[in-house]
Amino acid sequence: MRNSVLQRIGITSIACLLSIVFSGCTLGNQRSDVVGYGLDGPVIDYNTSTVAGYTGGSLAAFPRVNTGFSYVDGMGNRLADTEFGTVQVKLGKPTRVDMSINEHAQFSDGQPITCDDILLSWLARRPQKNNLFHAMSMPGLSEISTITCDPHSKHAKIVFRSEQLPRDWLALFGAGSIMPWHIVSEKTGVHDIRKLLSDKNSKELHRVADFWNHGWRLDHSPLDLDRFVSSGPYKIANVGDDGTITLERNDKWWGDPARVSKIIIYSTRANLKQQIRDGHVRVADISSEDTNPPTPEESTSAVISSENIMQLRLSTHGVFSNVQRRRAFLRCIPLEKITAYIARNNEVTTTHSEEVHSHIPAAIVPLDNEPVAQQISSWTTLDRRPSSTRPPRRQRVNVVYPAGSSHAQHIIKLVSEDCKSSGFSVVGVPTEVYTGEILSSSHAQAALFGTAGAVGPGGSFDSASGLVGLSPYRLPDFTSGDARGLFATVRRLNNLQGETMPIQQDGSDRYVEFAHSVAHFQQYVYDMGYAIPLYVQLRWQFVRNDLQGVTQGRSAASVGWNMDRWGI
């Protein structure tokens, strides 16, 4: 694991710690038994697998609230979570994975976690035509042939379509993906989850989909906290009118209890930067900007390179419903000027930072395999030859970007200047709170996102995770039109076992094959006018010197991936 954020204890902090028992000493404006955690995603959905949840920072907020068979650590590695359950791979024709949930596993309301909850996850997230669920799917879910389990059992047999496991198999039912079926059943009156798996358009399926899409939203009031049950060391105790989210220990958790009694999450909905200035935040992970507050007293900070690749994503509605027009717009993006600006800015940042290793991305997804990355860097260049298509009459393009981001503002200014001659009037729209849902509206034609549509922390060493959500809104209907080709490319990438099987039986190098596929995939995404990669995001992170157990967070899981191990 790479070096963690430095954690130095000052004399004042030590003295305070020694007197907590006797005097209820406070550090700054925050009680000693409470940790304020700041992140720059909006966190508007408890369901991490919806478009709003996945792209809005919920994975960084709730990694130890909604657990699963695996999790992403701060460095972006995908790891098995044996506290939740175990998995056993049985190779064959076809290959099978047996999943067993811990016999003691239960939700915070005392109801057992069962394979019915796994079935709900598959029902909602599997790619299918005209899907009623607004889910951020994963390509490996389409490789599942059947999931069999007895009602209320803790064991599930997952059978894949072929003898080869998809690259993302361990992530398919990871942290945040398993929501409580018993809550859905109670709120919708639908009791047979197995019937829904073969049901295409019943009233029951519509009710379940509507609840799954909207039933765990955090930006609706009043909230019924009884439905926000937890499967991890923490549970939601309160959601404030100001957008703050309070987590407390889950007394039904079957593993080691969380060390800190309460964590208060300050997102962009909760006026994050002001909360930092006021001393309410002990640990934070936000985009590095020159408009950020100064590092709080008695804290250690660093600017680090993340696995989050910032990209411009286009809507496929309205002005950009035509693929030729999307292509024309992407061709006028001044990548060379953006590259120069980012490089120049990084040089300035480095003088004030302990660590910066940012670079211009060679691909639209992070690559955990160095030989693959080197291959792609050597030959991957987008074919951006001018189009013979006549430029449109002046078309207004609203580009949504995070409010307060000077980097984004400057980049959109560069785009505006260079795209005038191509017939586009580009207008930046600073927005405090938005998620991947924004491109389904008529108000935005483009937006700045990170890997897989992230707003806030994003990215992963797991390349397959970067394939999630490649369409502007969500994974499209894969059985028709342009999306069929996109899905075929994603599936091919996902099924190449580059890291573990470098040499194929015919002697060809899988590294090379995988690199070629990534290059082809990136060109395809660009040709279809879906997105274009711009730069690797730098993250500003700080931690109070009295808080132990915090490591750097370079991925979508941020620094909160092990929040139950934080200690004061």
Are 514 and 496 spatial neighbours (Cβ–Cβ below 8 Å)? yes
Dihedral over Cα of 170, 175, 177, 180: its sign = positive
Q: What is the pLDDT of residue 290?
A: 82
Are 553 and 541 spatial neighbours (Cβ–Cβ below 8 Å)? yes
Q: Give the CA diameter of the chain.
A: 77
Clarify whether residues 201 and 314 are in a common domain: no
| Neighbouring C-alpha atoms within 13 Å toward the C-beta of 346 | 19
Does 244 reside within a domain? no
Q: Which stretches within 306-425 are classed as H helix?
A: 323-331, 335-350, 370-379, 406-419
Clarify whether residues 369 and 457 are in a common domain: yes
Instruction: Give dist(CA 440, CA 55) in Å, integer.
Output: 14
Q: Which one, of 101, 107, 66, lies nearest residue 86 by Cα?
A: 101
Number of neighbours of residue 431 by Cβ within 10 angstroms = 18
Roughly what angle, to the nearest 10 degrees, separates helices 203-214 and 181-188? Answer: 120
| Structural domain count of the chain | 2
Does 554 reside within a domain? no
Number of neighbours of residue 515 by Cβ within 10 angstroms = 27
* Pairing state between β 34-39 and 155-160: unpaired
Clarify whether residues 313 and 205 are in a common domain: no
CATH of the domain at 328: 3.10.105.10
Q: Which two tokens stand for residue 112?
A: 């057992």
In this structure, which amino acid lies at residue 302?
Answer: A
| Torsion angle of C-alpha atoms 259, 260, 265, 266, degrees rounded to 10 | -130
Instruction: Give dist(CA 130, CA 478) in Å, integer.
Output: 9
Spatial neighbors of 179 by CB under 8 A, at least 6 apart, are 47, 49, 66, 117, 120, 121, 124, 212, 216
Matching residue, tokens 């609840």: 211
Q: Degrees (nearest 5) of the Cα angle 11, 15, 21?
A: 155
Are 160 and 87 spatial neighbours (Cβ–Cβ below 8 Å)? no
Q: Which two tokens stand for residue 389?
A: 């298509």
Instruction: Give dist(CA 447, CA 531) in Å, integer.
Output: 10
Instruction: Give dist(CA 520, CA 38) in Å, integer.
Output: 38
Question: DSSP 3-state assignment of 309?
Answer: strand
Q: What is the pLDDT of residue 214?
A: 96
Q: What is the pLDDT of residue 390?
A: 62
Strand ranges inside 390-482, DSSP E: 395-402, 424-431, 446-449
Q: Last residue of some domain: 226, 257, 276?
A: 226
Q: Which one, of 313, 279, 308, lies nearest residue 293 by Cα?
A: 279
Clarify whether residues 342 and 471 are in a common domain: yes
Spatial neighbors of 343 by CB under 8 A, at least 6 apart, are 360
Bridge partners (DSSP) of residue 402 are 431
In this structure, which amino acid lies at residue 189?
Answer: G
Clarify whether residues 130 and 220 are in a common domain: yes
Does 353 reside within a domain? yes
Are 439 and 452 spatial neighbours (Cβ–Cβ below 8 Å)? no
CATH of the domain at 177: 3.90.76.10
* Pairing state between β 299-314 and 70-72: unpaired
Question: DSSP 3-state assignment of 308?
Answer: strand
Instruction: Give dist(CA 256, CA 252) in Å, integer.
Output: 11
Does 354 reside within a domain? yes
The answer to whether the bond into 94 is cis (omega within 30° of 0) is yes
Q: Which two tokens stand for residue 298?
A: 């008695």
Clarify whether residues 209 and 98 are in a common domain: yes
Domain boundaries, position 424: 306-495+508-538
Clarify whether residues 310 and 217 are in a common domain: no
Clarify whether residues 216 and 365 are in a common domain: no
Clarify whether residues 211 and 320 are in a common domain: no
Q: What is the pLDDT of residue 504?
A: 44
Spatial neighbors of 289 by CB under 8 A, at least 6 apart, are 404, 405, 406, 407, 540
Q: Last residue of some domain: 226, 259, 276?
A: 226
Are 466 and 460 spatial neighbours (Cβ–Cβ below 8 Å)? yes
Instruction: Give dist(CA 52, CA 466) in Å, integer.
Output: 17
Bridge partners (DSSP) of residue 487 are none
Q: Which one, of 451, 463, 457, 465, lies nearest residue 558 by Cα?
A: 457
Q: Last residue of some domain: 162, 192, 226?
A: 226
Q: Which two tokens stand for residue 348?
A: 């300035």
Does 263 reside within a domain? no
Clarify whether residues 111 and 207 are in a common domain: yes
Instruction: Give dist(CA 509, CA 27) in Å, integer.
Output: 56
Instruction: Give dist(CA 280, CA 333) in Å, integer.
Output: 40
Does 564 reside within a domain? no
Q: Which stretches within 278-322 are classed as H helix?
A: none
| Neighbouring C-alpha atoms within 13 Å toward the C-beta of 498 | 23
Clarify whether residues 325 and 414 are in a common domain: yes
Does 150 reside within a domain? yes
Are 369 and 496 spatial neighbours (Cβ–Cβ below 8 Å)? no
Q: Which one, of 310, 244, 247, 248, lies nearest residue 38 by Cα?
A: 244
Task: List the pLDDT tens digit at each of the 568 positions of the chain.
Answer: 333 333 322 322 322 332 222 223 333 444 458 999 999 999 999 999 998 998 899 999 999 999 999 998 887 788 999 999 999 999 888 999 999 999 999 999 999 999 999 999 999 998 777 788 988 877 788 889 999 999 999 999 999 988 878 877 888 999 999 999 999 999 999 999 999 998 777 999 999 999 999 999 999 888 999 999 999 999 999 999 999 999 999 999 999 999 999 999 999 999 999 999 999 999 999 999 888 999 999 999 999 888 888 889 898 888 888 888 998 999 999 988 988 888 887 665 544 444 444 444 444 444 444 444 444 444 345 556 665 566 667 899 999 999 888 889 999 999 999 999 999 999 999 998 899 888 888 889 999 988 878 899 987 755 444 444 443 334 333 444 555 565 566 666 666 543 444 444 444 455 566 666 666 666 777 777 888 888 888 899 999 999 999 998 888 899 999 999 999 8
Instruction: Give dist(CA 310, CA 448) in Å, integer.
Output: 7
Clarify whether residues 312 and 440 are in a common domain: yes
Does 66 reside within a domain? yes
Question: DSSP 3-state assignment of 146?
Answer: strand
